[in-house]
Structure 1
Amino acid sequence: MKRLILFLVLCTLFTNSQAQKQCKLTYVSNEGFLLQTGDKKIMFDALFNHIDGNWCDSPNDSTLHALKHAKAPFNNIDLIAVSHKHRDHFNVDVVVSHMLHNKKAYLLCPEQVGEILAKNKNYKEFSNRVTLCTPGEYCDEKLTVNDIPIRICRLEHSHYMEEDTINGGKINRHRNIENLGFVLDIDGVKVFHCGDTNPLNEKEYSTFNLQDENIDIALVERLFFAYGKASIDILNKYIAPKQMVLMHINPRNKSAFTKHFKEVDNVIIFQNKMDSIVLEF
């Protein structure tokens, strides 16, 4: 009888341990996600406005209302992480509205985002819940924000080459953008969000050695698979996640990505905005 009781206790402990390695992931738009695990709720790059055109997903009116007013499922958010200031990742009015309606939320963002927020008349009402962090090139920083351990990596923004009207030739439009990657440890689940990373910057990824983080789920730029073997090798060698979610997919190209990864078990592509999936590790 004692052995049976011990066995049942061990089974219960094992089951509870397994339950801690579960998370619910909801696709909001573009690179915007809501992650729920344990008693924590985190949003990445989800607080932005409607965008005209079909080059990226953006929130519809009902989702935008819920984001602004911290309504379900965006109520009681613990942490909002913003990778960079571009309008398909961040909108000052949406962020300010959410922070005013949700007194629990903390915001983590680069200084360029902080500069925009500081110009808003209501910024002082929640500035004590804002953490600005912009590591130098090839540098990272470890912080704990609202009891959530986070590693922040400075990741070069992907290139957008255009004509240099002053000096001639081509110039990278995004060369001065502060883009952050986040590694979060949430109740034992390791999550990585890369923002608009340059998936060909091997020097950067070899410096950070994210493969040592034992990442459960990586929210990664679709460009890792658009540039061929070089970027895929970087993903596999220096990030090596158990599961991947592809982000920043042009809606017109989503069917092609879905078809390509149909038989790949560890790559997830969300079909519709506000779809959710529960992952276990």
Structure 2
Amino acid sequence: MFVVSLYLSCMTIVKAHDSSATYLANEAVLVSNGHTKVLFDPFFHKSFNQYLLVPQKTLAAIFAGEAPFDNIDAIVISHAHGDHFAADDVARYLEKFPATKLVAPQQAIKTLQVLPNVGTISSQLIPITLAFNDSPKTMQIGNITFEGVRIPHAGWPGRANIENIVFRVTIADDKKGAITVMHMGDADPNDDHYLPYKDHWTARKTHMAFPPYWFFYSMEGNYILDELLNAHEHVGIHVPTIVPKELKASGKDYFSTSGEKRTINRSVTP
């Protein structure tokens, strides 16, 4: 309890009426709009000696259901890599919080389905099954709209078997209005992957996108962000613990410290 209290006293609390994104580590982000909250890639064990792990005090707060991690509506997994997904922690969380849904690629769902306690959480598992070049898929859970596109993992054509999903998530709120965010996982910065889905990107304005930081390093990556994805703001994620000099000098916005927060400007028409 002391650890949780210490965490809460040190961290900027996300108020219930905020529309905001709060950084946990690596690609783990909490997005809140009104009373609705979505956690992206929150549980993982691998740092590969270069990426930030979620601090233990943050994990304690999450599993205690303490603000700002109370009443999480959904967890979203971008792909089943060890620096984004840990099946044991996901299952433990879902078992403790049966109202929370998990939206994840089929590869992550299959990893959960072999666990001994899967029967108690099976109704919370919502797979999104997408093959390479498939049309986008949309699903609705309460007041949250999830739209997924399979975009290859960075390093294409290597890792072509990895189901990396770019999620566009719209969270409605009767009083405050909707916000739309985009979590890109470890997407590859090649515009050939994005151009076939131009109609999908233009169909809805994204208030804030979370691309992996390497998009900021190339003309092609910046073209994707600025011209194709239809996103108002970009905040880089997957930033190494030692922030590269090139990233610091880029002038781009990015998360690098657990507890950082960005306000999402909902005045932009979704």
Q: Which residue in 1 is equivalent to 2:14?
A: none
- For residues 260-279 of structure 1, the aligned pairs below 5 Å read 260-261=250-251, 267-279=252-264
Distance 2:237 2:30 in 1: 13
Distance 1:146 1:272 in 2: 32
Pair 1:83 & 2:78 matched:
yes
Distance 2:66 2:255 in 1: 22
Paired AA for residue 223 in structure 1: W
* Residue 197 to residue 246, structure 1, CA distance change in 2 (3 Å): same
Q: Which residue in 2 is equivalent to 1:231?
A: 221
Q: CA shift at 1:255, angstroms?
A: 5.6
Q: Which residue in 1 is equivalent to 2:194?
A: 205
Question: After the TM superposition, which parts of structure 1 deviate over 6 Å for at least 4 consecutive aligned residues?
Answer: none
Q: Which residue in 1 is equivalent to 2:153?
A: 157
Pair 1:61 & 2:46 matched:
no
The equivalent position to 1:124 in structure 2, one of 119, 127, 130, is 119
Distance 1:74 1:229 in 2: 37
Distance 1:51 1:248 in 2: 11
Q: CA shift at 1:189, angstroms?
A: 0.8
Pair 1:104 & 2:99 matched:
yes
* Residue 50 to residue 199, structure 1, CA distance change in 2 (3 Å): closer
Pair 1:180 & 2:165 matched:
yes
Pair 1:220 & 2:211 matched:
yes
Give deviations 1:210-249, integer Å, cap 9, x for gaps. Answer: 13321111011111112x2122112222113111110111
Paired AA for residue 47 in structure 2: I
Distance 1:273 1:254 in 2: 17
Paired AA for residue 195 in structure 1: G
Q: Which residue in 2 is equivalent to 1:11?
A: none
User: RMSD over aligned Cα, in angstroms?
Assistant: 2.0
Q: Per the alignment, in what secondary structure is the counterpart of residue 203 of structure 2? A: helix
Distance 2:77 2:263 in 1: 23
Percent of matched pairs sharing the same residue: 24
The equivalent position to 1:37 in structure 2, one of 9, 19, 33, is 33
Q: Which residue in 2 is equivalent to 1:167?
A: none
Moved more, 182-191 or 145-154: 145-154
State TM-score, norm by structure 1. Answer: 0.80
Distance 1:52 1:137 in 2: 27
Distance 2:265 2:18 in 1: 4
Paired AA for residue 241 in structure 1: A
Q: CA shift at 1:50, angstroms?
A: 5.9
Larger radius of gyration: 1
Ranges in structure 1 where 5+ consecutive residues have no aligned partner: 1-20, 161-170, 262-266
Q: Per the alignment, in what secondary structure is the counterpart of residue 237 of structure 1? A: helix
Distance 1:204 1:185 in 2: 22
